[in-house]
Chains A and B, each alone.
Chain A
Amino acid sequence: MHQTFDAALEMNLLHANQAGADHNREHFDEWGITCLNLMSSPGAGKTALLEKTLAALRSELAIAVVEGDMTTELDADRLRQCGVPVVAINTGRSCHLDARMVAGGIHQLKDLLDPRSLDLVVVENVGNLVCPAEFEVGEHAKVALLSVTEGEDKPLKYPVMFREANCLLITKTDLAPYLEVDLDRIVANVRQINPQVVIIPVSAKTGAGLEDWLNWVRQVTGRSHQPSDRTPDLITA
């Protein structure tokens, strides 16, 4: 006769990933780094926004990028043009970055430079509005992007991402006049799900709203009023 026993676990399904994310964050904290996790659907403008952000902030913050891409290094190559260290993680068939992959990225960064010289690490996640929302990577804040071309209903359809975000950038606002899109509707839909999120409309093309975003970054890195002259001390081979 088989006797069946029962063990209560009451553990998170993503316990293993969560432990990895906490471990990454401990490293960031130890090195004095703020980590942002940038998430959106494909083509919402994460890389374009990052290009502008790096160009504007690299003189005051020491920044590195961990770039998640399913198969290519196209985005990583674009960002390397901005003169900051970029490590690329090909996720293969996986549609999001997880804590283990980002840990691999951190190790790659350590081969390039002394992590203590960095102020900010931006993780550009794989373009996807669903999966990355559930996988923490060790970030201090989540930044979601939603472009005006995606439609007002997306926050309602993909609510977890917008619920989890600390900051939402409504991107490509320069296109709004050409579309039947209601920005107030987007904001209202997001607010239903996440009343606390900071919402910043931006256009990487025209630069509109960019200063608000840069100020948010300065604030979360704790450097709102102290421009720093630090640049990452790259270890050259």
Chain B
Amino acid sequence: MHEVDMTRSLVLTLRDWWESQPDRPQISRVHLRVGDFTCVEPMGLVFAFDAYKEGTFLAAAELAIESVPLVAFCHACQSDYRPEVGLHYACPTCGAPMEDIRSGRELQISHIEYQNAAQETVIGQLAAV
């Protein structure tokens, strides 16, 4: 259920960006990076986003979610390993606990694809002449 609240937070951030653009471009795709070691279900985000965007500045936008695997670093072995989420987190070689997380905690808006409405208008006018 918290995907709804995450979507609200996401939309607020996107709105700030959109309003800071002088020509209010049309956003076509929003790229997220979501780590496997988070409490986020990607499909839940897509569902909430699609419900939220109707009739807003995001109406034409879709979410593209990239999953990021959980990777930990074992200091004793000086090597990376992939913990099995839900089952086992300690280092499979030496049994040391999961100390440093290299990746998997990401909840990131990485980039936005958009069409510049003003520029299209300019092109349109030139074609008319």
Give chain A's interface residues, CB within 8 Å of chain B.
1-17, 93-96, 98, 130-131, 133-135, 156-157, 159-160, 163, 191-195
Contact = CB atoms under 8 A, between A and B. Distances in A.
Contacts of A157: 86
Interface SS majority for chain B: mixed
A134 B110 contact: no
Interface string B110-124: 111111100110010
Contact of B116 (A5, A11, A133, A159): A5
Interface residues of B, number: 41
Contacts of B94: none
B9 A16 contact: yes
B10 A13 contact: yes
A16 B5 contact: no
Contacts of B67: none
B119 A3 contact: yes
B90 interface: yes
B12 A16 contact: yes
A192 B1 contact: no
A4 B114 contact: yes
B32 A96 contact: no
Interface string B68-109: 000000000000000001111110000001110000000111
Contacts, number: 117
A93 B5 CA distance: 11
Given A15-B13, A130-B39, A159-B85, A8 B116 contact: no
Given A130-B39, A195-B97, A156 B87 contact: yes
Nearest to A8: B111
Nearest to B120: A2
13 contacts: A3-B119, A3-B120, A6-B113, A9-B111, A9-B112, A12-B109, A13-B13, A13-B109, A15-B13, A96-B5, A135-B5, A193-B98, A195-B97
Contacts of B86: 156-157, 159
